[in-house]
Amino acid sequence: MLSSARGGCFRAKDGSMLSTMTRPFYIAWLVILPVVLLGGCATVRPPAHAQASDRTMMVTAYCKCKKCCGWKRTWYGKPVDVRTGKTKKIGRTASGTRAKEGRTIAADTSKYPFGTVMYVKGYGYGRVEDRGSKITQEKIDLFFRSHNRALQWGRRTMTVRVWTRQ
């Protein structure tokens, strides 16, 4: 891709000259771009040396819409929580992260603290990053990008593998 040339410049494949200042930037994009296009490198995996257990749970789905998360807009357009009336950051979880499909799980944080890793067949690995008023004990909610995708998941009773931190 790059070949060395005289004077501290490098020649790109198309024949144009790149200065030594441009080379690190060019190489960084060659490395970073595939990672970004393939979905990033922040995948959820079970922690090393953690103990796994299988639990039967009620698994439901949610998205960031008004119906799923219980918020509404004020007369001047600001989103607020229906129960408390406090300002709501749409798409943000209780742990402060941005909700992401294939990663975010809402659970009872008194039983499964933030950061607990779970594997749900058909959804993949996820991390507890959120909680909800109707999520108690052996019930979890999986985050989906759209309301239709959440409805397609529906309500299922299934075995979930849970990794607890030691």
pLDDT tens readout for residues 110-152: 999 999 999 999 999 999 999 988 888 899 999 999 999 999 9
The C-alpha atoms of residue 82 and residue 66 are separated, in whole angstroms, by 9
φ, ψ for residue 10, nearest 5 deg: -125, 145
Report which secondary-structure segment, H or E, holds 153. Answer: helix 147-153
Q: Given a cut of 60, is residue 30 above it in pLDDT?
A: no
Instruction: Output DSSP code: residue 8.
Output: G
The class that CATH gives domain 51-164 is: mainly beta
The C-alpha atoms of residue 31 and residue 43 are separated, in whole angstroms, by 17
Stronger pLDDT, 67 or 20, i.e. the higher one: 67
| Residue 100 pLDDT grade (very low, low, confident, very high; cuts 50, 70, 90) | very high
For position 98, what pLDDT does the model report?
Answer: 94
- Domain positions in the chain: 3-37, 51-164
Report yes or no: 157 and 128 within 8 Å, Cβ to Cβ. no
Cα-Cα-Cα-Cα dihedral sign, residues 58, 45, 149, 130: positive
Q: Given a cut of 60, is residue 18 above it in pLDDT?
A: no
- CA neighbor of 99 nearest in space, from 66, 134, 126: 126
DSSP string, 18-72: E-TTHHHHHHHHHHHHHHHHTT-S----PPTTPEEEEEEEEEEEE-SSHHHHTEE
